């Protein structure tokens, strides 16, 4: 049985978020892969626009985080 798009997106966002919680830059690639897959699933017409926007915000936040990786405050 396959997951509904909303359930799959939720799972992928949780996976990405959990990877980011470790604050280990080596996990950013895996988090990006989860968020990117969520973006693909979010293309389903059954997925609400606000969910698509949420996925996009996660990707943008990761872009910003990666832009700051390796910099000391």
- pLDDT given at position 10: 94
Are 58 and 35 in contact by the 8 Å Cβ rule? The answer is yes
Write out the H or E segment, with its range, that includes residue 13.
helix 5-21
pLDDT classification of 67: cutoffs 50, 70, 90? confident
pLDDT tens-place string over residues 39-59: 999 999 999 999 999 999 999
Helix H segments across the chain? 5-21, 28-41, 49-68
pTM: 0.84
pLDDT classification of 70: cutoffs 50, 70, 90? low
> Residue 11 and residue 46: Cα distance in Å, rounded?
17
């Amino acid at each position: 049985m396959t997951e509904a798009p909303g359930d799959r997106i939720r799972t992928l966002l949780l996976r990405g978020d959990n990877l980011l919680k470790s604050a280990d830059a080596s996990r950013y690639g895996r988090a990006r892969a989860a968020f990117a897959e969520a973006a693909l699933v979010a293309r389903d017409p059954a997925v609400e626009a606000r969910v698509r926007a949420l996925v996009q915000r996660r990707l943008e936040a990761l872009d910003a985080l990666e832009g700051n990786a390796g910099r000391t405050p």
